Amino acid sequence: MFGFNKQELEILKKLNSPKKIQNFLDKLKINFELNGETCMSPRLVLRTQMAHCFEGALLAAATLRVNGRKPLIVDLATARDDQDHVIAIFKENGCWGAITKTNHYMLRYRDPIYKTIKELVMSYFHEYYDDYGNKNLRAYSMPIDLSRFDKHGWMTSEDDVWYIYKYLFKVPHKKIMTNSQILKLRKADEIEIKVGKIVEWKK
């Protein structure tokens, strides 16, 4: 199925709910890219047992697909000095939720309680700040169906899938604020910044 071997499918089919997928991702080590930048396929993530946010989103999307759902991701775009975050999304009872891989307390799983993609995205706004307290979330893509990359074998590729990463920069993004609103943003306070530095995995 989708190019996965028997062993891989046994793992993925057991992850038959978003909560189970998230629990699985949480147990994977963070990919600190110590030997250079990577963009591993779901197969390579399963093999190495580590992932950064983008790789985690790809694995989550592939797992959703193996279990009968669409493989959808959303790109959360940031201010220039910060890094985008990518989430795998799913829909239950008409509402959206998200599965993510992150090393911080922020930007984590979202229960399917959000009526629109924008509502889901905005739930990350006050958590998306840097070490200086700047709130950096600026825009988001509409859902990207990864089945568009099936011809490249994205789920089981033995090579990095940079073409998916590059595609995120091509798709339109919707802004969440005006410039005047950005200028009036209050920075995260001292305790928020302190909590934001807590990490799950250390280098």
Task: Give the pLDDT band (50/70/90) at residue 81.
Answer: confident
Using the predicted structure, report yes or no on whether residue 40 has a pLDDT greater than 90: yes
Q: State residue 203's pLDDT score.
A: 85
> Domain spans of the chain?
6-196
Using the predicted structure, report yes or no on whether residue 80 has a pLDDT greater than 90: no
Q: State residue 1's pLDDT score.
A: 86
Question: What mean pLDDT value characterizes the chain?
Answer: 97
Q: State residue 108's pLDDT score.
A: 96
pTM score: 0.97
List own/partner pairs for 27-34 with CB under 8 A and 24 or more apart. 28/56, 28/101, 29/201, 30/101, 30/103, 30/200, 30/201, 31/55, 32/203, 34/203
The model's pLDDT over 141-153, given as tens digits with 9 standing for 90+, comes to 999 999 999 999 9
Could you tell me which residues come within 8 angstroms of residue 173 by beta carbon, excluding any fewer than 6 positions away?
Answer: 75, 77, 139, 140, 141
Using the predicted structure, report yes or no on whether residue 58 has a pLDDT greater than 90: yes
Q: State residue 181's pLDDT score.
A: 98
